Each structure stands twice: as C-alpha cells, then as structure tokens.
Amino acid sequence: MTYEKIFETTKKTIMKSDVSNIEGHLAVQVDIVGEGEGAFYIELKDKQLFVEPYEYYDHDCKFIISGDDFIKMVNGKLDPVLAYTTGKLKVEGSVDKALEFKNIVDAVKKQEKKSSKAKTTAAKAEKKTAAKKPAAKKPAAEKKAEEKPVAEKKTATKKAEAKPAAEKKTAAKKAEAKPAAEKKTATKKAEAKPVAEKKTAAKKAEAKPTEEKKETAKKTK
C-alpha cells in the first residue's frame, strides 16, 4: 500500500466521525514505517478534526506503526491499547494523550454504525415502496394490441363451435328427410299396387263373359 493510499483512507475514515462532543485538544503525528513510509498528522481542535500530510512538530505524541495496522486501528478492527501492548504501535511523547486517540476511534465506529443502520432502514423502506407501488398502466396502443388477439380468438372459437352445430343440424335434417321420402315412395307404391291389381281383375272380369258369350253363339249355330 502506498503512502498516498494510506493517507487518503485515513482522512476519509476519520473525517466521517462526529467529534462535536469531545472536549480538549489533541495533536498526533503518525509515522508510517515499512511499506508506504511517510508522515502525516491528525489534530482535534475546537471539536473539529484535521488530517493533513505534514509533520506536526508541536505534537502531543507520535505514533510509529505500519500502514496496514494503522488502517485497522482507525477502522476499529485493532484496539489502540491492544496495539500498544502487543508492540504493533509505538508511542513517543505523552502516553496519556495517546490514549485520548481512542475517543476519535470510538467516534468513527459510532458514525459507521449510524450509517449502516440508515442504509438498512432506507433499503427496507425502498423494498416496501416497491412492493406497494401499483403496476404501471400499459399504453392504449399496447392494450389494444393485446385485446385484438383475444377478440380474434373468441371469434374463431365461436365460429369453430358454430360450424359443428350447423353441420349437426344439416345432418339431422337430412336424416329426417330421408325416411320421410322413403315413406312417401313406399306409400305411393302401396297405393299403386292395389289399383293395378284392381284394373287387371276388372279386365279379366270383362273378358270372361265375352268369351262365354262367343262360345254360346258357336253352340247355337
């Protein structure tokens, strides 16, 4: 990690904290050792924080620490007291003043919790709003385009239903008409047969006396 990255990350993190309730004055020079070597200072003055990339000769104390460990300490992932007791943090100057730096770290952690809570609340509110939001009305043209296939489908269905019904009626009529026609034909035949038989019998009846008459006439002669 470069010096610039360490400084920018430190300033961005610390400047987000609310130190309006912290009294007194504190000036800490931070000497980064190892990767990203360099110096900058953090000052608490009149309930305001200042982070600048310079040495602060009139400081209350000096921190000597690696860049990674200092970033962890500022983010609240490494306790300043623990860092000091384990040798990760070396302090030159007033140790009592150095302990006051924990107030700044606590303010950073408090602000991060608030920000996290606010984000969670906002996300929940947005989710509820999205759930309650009614579906957007579709444009009239789009609505008509959707309605048209439905109407066409209904018409086609009606036609499809009507066709078998019409065919059924026609078939029924044909079925009814056929026996009637056959019945009429049978009736005509039935009526015609006795008439023909009657005519034939009448002719025979007429012919018989004539023959008898002829035979009688022959005998007389």
Q: Which domain holds residue 31?
A: 3-108
Tally of domains in the chain: 1
- Give the torsion through C-alpha atoms of 173, 179, 185, 191, to 10 deg: -130
Residue 7 is assigned to a structural domain of this protein: yes
Q: What share of the chain is helix, strand, coil (3-state, %, to 5)?
A: 65, 15, 20
The answer to whether 70 and 1 are in contact (CB under 8 A) is no
Residue 155 lies in a domain: no
Contact 43, 26 (CB under 8 A): yes
Q: How much is the pLDDT for 221?
A: 47
pTM of the model as a whole: 0.54
Asked if the structure places residue 49 within a domain, the reply is yes
Digitized pLDDT (tens) for each residue of the chain, 221 residues in all: 899 999 999 999 999 889 999 999 999 999 999 999 999 999 999 999 999 999 999 999 999 999 999 999 999 899 999 999 999 999 999 999 999 999 999 998 888 777 777 677 777 777 777 777 665 555 666 666 666 666 666 666 666 665 665 566 666 566 565 655 565 555 555 554 554 555 655 566 565 655 555 555 555 54
87: in domain: yes
The CATH code of the domain that includes 48 is 3.30.1050.10
Residue-level pLDDT at 198: 58
Q: Is residue 21 part of a domain?
A: yes
Q: Is residue 201 one of the residues assigned to a domain?
A: no
